[in-house]
Chain A
Amino acid sequence: MTDTTVQTSASGRPLADPSKPLVQVKDLEVTFKTGTGDVHAVRGVSFDIYPGETVAIVGESGSGKSTTATALIKLLAGNGRISGGKVLVEGKDITGYSERQMASVRGGVIGYVPQDPMSNLNPVWSVGFQVREAIRANGVASGRKDIQAKAIEVLQQAGLADAERRMEQYPHQFSGGMRQRVLIGIGLGADPKLLIADEPTSALDVTVQKVILDHLESLTRELNTALLLITHDLGLAAERASKLIVMHRGRIVESGDSLEILQHPQHPYTKQLIAAAPSLASRRIHSSTGAAVTEGVDAIDMLKLAVKHEDTEAVIEAAPVMVSVKDLRKTYSIRRGGFKSEPLHAVDGISFEIHKGTTLALVGESGSGKSTAARLVLGLEPPTEGEIVVGGQNMAGASAKQLFDLRRRMQVVFQDPYASLDPQRSIGAIIAEPLKVHGVGDRVSRHARVEELLEQVALPTELAHRYPNELSGGQRQRVAIARALALKPEVVVLDEAVSALDVLVQAQILQLLADLQEELGLTYLFITHDLAVVRVVADAVAVMEQGKIVEAGPTDEIFENAQQPYTQRLLDAIPGAGIEFGN
């Protein structure tokens, strides 16, 4: 502890001694009480954070990364407690602190930026109120005027240029990105020495994510604030942090210098993670050494999947066109306050073709119209204008019977594994539903088909008599795939089908989809917001922005040589895009 005279920075804050750790975590244990006994969420975790440095904790869901972060400010969810170890903040152990003592640590010494900008601001108070409250509580300013001035300053710093005007607006009047800026402003409002950012951008579009992270990075550097970044994205972590901590099942499996870990991972789990991360795959393509991370480990390597799609242009051209969309339009009328309404061009004249046995990725951020396009192709909604031809059948002129038959040839897998299976039907009934609706086979043959499908997606056949609530997200997605394959379709629409999954599971599903495509000659329409995944799975890409396709072409061409600035921005925003792999 510094008991001698302390240096102060220009702002009057004592300058922290860079050689002494700001936070030391020693053998931290966190336990949650549940109905079925104690769950040890964090087991013997130790690390240090020095003044001004950026540390990232990476892990899948359930790894204990967020729990570790919240333990530092003792804001564990209701039934959790620190059951062992120490957390030293500036040398003092806070594990024994009372709530009152913690109030003085939170905000002032350690700031916190939460994950979901939608739920972390109180909807009934204005944004200004919530910022002022943080400033007042930490004694950064006093007196109404000073507090107001400081609040505006903080918000402007966080990137809200017109803060003064928008102070008295309510959270629902802000976009997600703007709310996240407000939360960053609140986190940094009291000039803390450490800022914990818990998945601060995972709920945002990639381009917004990049802007926010850039801003956060420059701001913390400017204020010399240490940053603890919690993320599931290895690429993002390595790009932003100098030091990486990889967690798995409550333990640290590997930690150290970011690049060092990426290039020379030692622990098998780390190797698996790196191999499975789509955001790193495209980087690794360009390096000579990167490809070798999976050596000696049983892992699914995204690199191999990606390479499969290289130089396929000729193959694509040779295959017949399976799906053809021409000048597709969908216009909704949106009610604007009271009685006026205005048109919203959700899909604004798009055209594309998908060749048999290949994958077209339709990429775009939220509101780009990609999901509407998928619904139109699936015939779940009628288009306002345009032509959709699937396997030679034009959907526009089709009779009800023809449309019904078309459904046998085209199936869909949705995004949310927890919402795409009816919780009240058994897995067997779910998979057999398409067969039943189309009157295929009898009970016995349908049951046989269900077992066959379960085996095809690598699930045990006894699952047929179980219910979705016993399955994990990845397993549910397999069931959804099995259901989509039941009628032996030619085209499968994958609507963000892997977006909700953890990276290892995502890799597994992507591998499964690739295997099935090869085996059954499937044609995929892959709807996604994640360009990194596109690199791994798609033969061709179409980038959508505001209802229009702004750029389309073979995957490699788009990635190597994007013509449109929007595409370029999307590519740059892929986490990890800035990492120099190899060498």
Chain B
Amino acid sequence: MLMYVVRRLLQAIPVFLGTTFLIYFMVFSMPGDPIIALFGDKTPNPAVLAAIREQYNLDEPFIVQYFLYLQNLVTGNLGVTFSGQEVVDVLSRAFPVTLKLVAMAVVIEFILAVVIGLISGLRKGGIIDNANLVTALVLSSVPPFVALFVAQYFIGIKLGWAPVTVGANATWGSMLLPAIVIALTIYVTGMRLMRGSVIEAQSADYVRTAAAKGLTARRIIPVHVARNSLIPVVTNTAASFGALIAGTTVTEGIFNIPGVGKVLYDAILRGENATVVSFVTILTILYVIVNILVDLLYAVLDPRIRYV
């Protein structure tokens, strides 16, 4: 297990270098003065301009620039936003909010995926199963931002059951609606995995053997069917956790939730490209970290990987 962890962490190093390089490359290999491009059509504040020029060491050769940029990144010197705030400060305020939202969405997603997937899988081909599959197809084709608008309009504006926007004071309750909507747009993958592996497990040899031992369905289903099916669902959920952190941009923008995604959303809308790049880098690194955790979690859940 320890070897597995070490190996996985070593594998992450080239990925980390590669992703940051790629983002850096995309920005700084563009024609013209990249710093001016970073500001789009805005006129920058000279002080901010100077700070950013220093951050990116444009006088050095390209590869040196990248390593200096990397050094800054590793030492936590993430630079300043368009308005001159330290990115680290912005991040420390916004990140807890995003984490709260994503955690809520993930828990809801997991419950939906497991419960619906299990019922659907056990009753394969029945009315509930078919209704569920149709719903899943429709839900998975609604673009997230459309779903968010629909929810905001009907539940927030028309019915008034939930706040239309969240605002500065992001409480658990005020973020419930966006969390549910996010969960609904992503539970389908997990639900299908659960359903599929429940159906597969039901005809698995070890389940028949369990029945042959004299076990009743009340024991077989949770212990031998559901437990085995959980492995792919848990890892899928964890993987969507990473994707969600990255995907909160639209959600937080529409519901005005003061998280990391909202910072990115605002920066995109205002064309503050320097901030966009900073935050995309941060989110990508987060995504890489979560992916590592997912693989480790997988090893914990599956003894075949735990004991090699």
Contacts and interface: CB of A to CB of B under 8 A. Distances in A.
* Complex A–B touching at CB under 8 A: yes
Interface string A94-110: 00000110011111100
B219 A172 contact: no
A150 to B, nearest CB: 14
Given A107-B212, A112-B212, A99 B205 contact: no
Interface stretch (B144-152, B181-189, B299-307): B299-307
Interface stretch (B31-39, B223-231, B257-265): B223-231
B211 interface: yes
Q: Which of A77, A99, A120, A173 has most B Cβ within 10 Å?
A: A120
A124 B7 contact: no
A94 B93 CA distance: 68
Nearest to A131: B213
Q: Which of A77, A99, A105, A124 has most B Cβ within 10 Å?
A: A124
B40 to A, nearest CB: 49
Contacts of A133: 210, 213, 215, 219, 223
A75 B206 contact: no
A112 B209 contact: yes
Contacts of A352: none
A502 B195 CA distance: 36
Given A75-B212, A133-B215, A123 B303 contact: yes
Interface string A554-574: 000000000000000000000
Given A119-B205, A120-B206, A75 B211 contact: yes
A185 B80 CA distance: 68
A507 interface: no
B214 A103 contact: yes
Contacts of B303: 123-124, 126, 170, 172
A123 B7 CA distance: 24
A120 B216 contact: no
Interface string B52-76: 0000000000000000000000000
A267 to B, nearest CB: 32
A183 B205 CA distance: 12
B212 A106 contact: yes
B208 A114 contact: yes
B115 interface: no
B3 to A, nearest CB: 4
Nearest to B202: A78
A112 B236 CA distance: 36
Interface in B173-205: 202-205
B26 interface: no
A189 B90 CA distance: 63
A431 interface: no
A75 B208 contact: yes
A241 B224 CA distance: 34
A134 B215 CA distance: 7
A186 B304 contact: no
Contacts of A103: 211, 214-216
Contacts of B308: 337
A138 B304 CA distance: 29
A116 interface: yes
Contacts of B214: 103-108, 134, 137-138, 190
Contacts of A186: 209, 213
B75 to A, nearest CB: 30
Contacts of A137: 213-216, 219
A128 to B, nearest CB: 13
A35 interface: no
A120 B6 contact: no
B217 interface: yes
Nearest to B124: A78
A134 B202 CA distance: 18
B212 A73 contact: yes
A107 B210 CA distance: 9
B211 A106 contact: yes
Interface in B1-59: 3, 6-7
A169 B307 CA distance: 9
A114 B209 contact: yes
Interface residues of A, number: 39
Nearest to B303: A170
Given A337-B3, A337-B308, A338-B6, A122 B211 contact: no
A121 interface: yes
A114 B304 CA distance: 22
A3 B249 CA distance: 77
A100 B216 contact: yes
Interface string A337-357: 110000000000000000000
Interface in A76-92: 77-78
Nearest to B213: A134
Contacts of A114: 205, 208-209, 212
Q: Which of B202, B203, B210, B308 has most A Cβ within 10 Å?
A: B210
A551 to B, nearest CB: 36
A183 B209 CA distance: 9
Interface string A20-58: 000000000000000000000000000000000000000
Contacts of A123: 206, 228, 302-304
A112 B3 CA distance: 39
B219 A119 contact: no
A314 B231 CA distance: 63
A343 B212 CA distance: 43
Contacts of B304: 123, 170, 172
A172 B303 CA distance: 8
Nearest to A138: B214
A147 to B, nearest CB: 13
Contact of A78 (B3, B203, B224, B227): B203
Contacts of A104: 214
Contacts of A105: 214
Contacts of A190: 213-214
Interface string A180-220: 00010011011000000000000000000000000000000
Contacts of A169: 307
Given A172-B304, A337-B3, A121 B216 contact: no
B205 A116 contact: yes
A134 B216 CA distance: 11
Interface in B222-262: 223-224, 227-228, 231
Contacts of B217: 99
Contacts of B224: 122
Interface in A146-179: 169-170, 172-173
Nearest to A105: B214
A123 to B, nearest CB: 6
A170 B307 contact: yes
A105 B211 CA distance: 11
Given A122-B207, A137-B219, A138-B214, 5 more contacts: A107-B212, A116-B205, A122-B228, A134-B215, A138-B213
19 contacts: A75-B208, A99-B217, A103-B214, A103-B215, A105-B214, A106-B211, A107-B213, A107-B214, A112-B209, A112-B212, A119-B204, A120-B205, A120-B209, A121-B209, A123-B206, A124-B301, A133-B210, A133-B215, A170-B304
Interface of B: 3, 6-7, 202-217, 219, 223-224, 227-228, 231, 301-304, 307-308
Nearest 5 A-B pairs (CB), nearest first?
A107-B214, A112-B212, A134-B213, A119-B205, A170-B303
